[in-house]
Amino acid sequence: MNHLVTKHGKLHIRVYKKSDIAVCRSLWSELTQHHANLYGDKSISGDDPGRGFDVYLERPDRKGTWIAELDGKPVGFAGLLLLIDEEGVGEIEPVIVTSEYRRQGVGRELVKRIMREAGKAGARFLSVRPVARNTSAFAFFVKLGFATLGHLDLFQDLSASSDRDWKAGILIHGKRLRY
């Protein structure tokens, strides 16, 4: 069991239960809305931004999900995927902490729990894929030791009239990329 005392109370990390579905859908909605705001694209959140949690629960590679509670109140969750097509590779997906409790150590404790669980499950590598514009998430994971670049996802925006404002500025292998 993980316990940490924060300015908001005692933090406990526990295994997900079916009764957590409503609070996790709400947290997923918050993250989805955050991504929509980062990219200035309302279509990211869609009509039911919590629906992604339902899809996540059905993933065959989902090893487990852990809930962060402060004095019994769920304030975040994180999950571990063990990739079916890549033996020994785990992925942290997702890490969600409600905005009110960020920068309090909740996310760090969730990730530390996932790292231990991945090791117990025999993972040799553990990856995480924060969205490109989520610079605070990127900095958070680098601070926790995720400093080796494994994969890049490159894509083209094929929308006929994209309203998305792409930012320029990331330099990788001498190539300037938008994000």
For residue 130, whether the previous peptide bond is cis, meaning omega lies within 30 degrees of 0, is no
Each residue's pLDDT expressed in tens, for the chain with a length of 179 residues: 446 666 668 999 999 999 999 999 999 999 999 998 888 888 888 889 899 999 999 999 999 999 999 999 999 999 999 988 778 999 999 999 999 999 999 999 999 999 999 999 999 999 999 988 888 999 999 999 999 988 888 888 787 666 677 888 788 889 998 88
Position 164 scores a pLDDT of 73
Give residues with Cβ within 8 angstroms of 132, minimum separation 6.
Answer: 170, 179
Q: In terms of residue numbers, what domain contains 109? A: 2-148+164-178
Q: Two tokens at 131?
A: 């969205």
154 found inside a domain: no
29 found inside a domain: yes
Whole-angstrom distance, CA of residue 1 vs CA of residue 36: 34
117 found inside a domain: yes
Q: Are 37 and 31 in contact (CB under 8 A)?
A: no
13 found inside a domain: yes
Whole-angstrom distance, CA of residue 134 vs CA of residue 123: 26
143 found inside a domain: yes
98 found inside a domain: yes
For every residue of the chain, DSSP letters joined together read: -EEEEETTEEEEEEE--GGGHHHHHHHHHHHHHHHHHHHT-GGGT-S-TTHHHHHHHT-TTEEEEEEEEETTEEEEEEEEEE-TTSTTEEEEEEEEE-GGGTTSSHHHHHHHHHHHHHHHTT-SEEEE---TT-HHHHHHHHHTT--------------TT------EEEEETTEEEE-
Give the residue among 67, 65, 68 at the shortest CA–CA distance from 11.
68
CATH number of the domain to which 93 belongs:
3.40.630.30
45 found inside a domain: yes
Q: Into how many domains does the chain fold?
A: 1
158 found inside a domain: no
Whole-angstrom distance, CA of residue 69 vs CA of residue 112: 15
